[in-house]
Amino acid sequence: MHGDDARPWTFYAFAAFFTLFVLFLYGPMIVIYILSFQGPHGGMTFPLNGVSLHWFEALVSQTRVGDIAGSFIRSISLAAIVSALTVMLAVLAGLAFRRRFRGSAFAFYLTIASLIMPGLFVGLGIALTFRLLGLPTEWYTTALGAQLTWTLPFGLLIMFAVLGRFNRAYEEAAIDLGATNWQKVKEVTLPILLPGIIGVALFGFTLSYDEIARTALAAGAKNTLPLEIWAMTTNVTSPTLYAVGAVTTVVSFAVIVLALGSIAIVQRRRAAASARTE
């Protein structure tokens, strides 16, 4: 293995290609964060006409950009609820699929169909259903349900991946040592699955927080943040648009860092614990 450690030329070609791809992914995003600090008389593109927080202030002070603050609070609350429900339902369902049971194929198809169904159709269906039932659409009822049809499939697929690597010997050992079923789940199963569960929570939160296709027709009178931003794209032609983009991305990144950090801490504790016992 040490003899042929020299990189082939293709490595450098691929590395250059990969770097370009990462630039393609992040470059435009970074540009709009820079442009969000545009001076008060600057436009939608370079050059920067001074540096200011003008467009961030405009977010809260200008009423014509819409209800950014209100929609932001709604989106955060909704994302938290969706995330919690996704964790509970997807983890439970993931455990169910470890056994063969009648109807497992149906549950599986239903989940996959829900995942690949064009989002707008789901929203349309929910809006029509509630309309026919004479019920109002609200962000905390219909939009919540619409978003769950998107986050639950992701949650279940993550659980499949996590449980695929799960060694059942630990659970059997717990039973052999006299643990009750509940003790087994609480003391053995869930702690082992914790990093995956944090992953499900992360997906649940961020997918909900940014969701638009399913939510658009199901949100009712009060917009979520992505819908508010979507409305802005048609009638706001100032760097305010970039400012709101910068703010919402900072929130997403904070959630991602929090989740990945927690996973890293769990793994480190685990490594430390296994080192102690050896």
Considering only residues 36 through 55, tell me which ones interact with another protein, judged by CB under 8 A.
Answer: 44-46
Q: Using the rule CB under 8 A, is 170 a contact of another protein?
A: no
Q: Using the rule CB under 8 A, is 96 a contact of another protein?
A: yes
Residue in 145, 188, 192, 223 binding another protein, rule: CB under 8 A:
145
Which residue matches tokens 């638009």? 212
Give me the count of residues in the chain: 278
Pick 54 or 217: Cβ nearer another protein: 217
Q: Using the rule CB under 8 A, is 100 a contact of another protein?
A: yes
Window of 53-61, 65-73, 156-164, 186-194 that interacts with another protein by CB under 8 A: 156-164
Interacting positions 123-142 with another protein (CB under 8 A):
124-126, 128-129, 131-132
The answer to whether the beta carbons of residues 111 and 149 sit under 8 Å apart is no
Residue in 71, 137, 149, 223 binding another protein, rule: CB under 8 A:
149
Token code pair at residue 22: 């990462």
**Amino acid at position 208, single letter:** S
Window of 52-60, 65-73, 158-166, 188-196 that interacts with another protein by CB under 8 A: 158-166
Interacting positions 225-244 with another protein (CB under 8 A):
226, 229-230, 233, 241-242
Pick 54 or 207: Cβ nearer another protein: 207
Task: Please choose, from the candidates 234, 247, 241, 212, the residue with its C-alpha nearest in 3D space to the C-alpha of residue 139.
Answer: 212
Secondary structure percentages of the chain, helix, strand, coil, to 5: 75, 0, 25
Phi, psi at 32, each rounded to 5°:
-70, -25
First CA to last CA across the chain, in angstroms? 30
Distance between CA atoms of 61 and 74, rounded to whole angstroms?
19
Residue in 8, 61, 64, 182 binding another protein, rule: CB under 8 A:
8
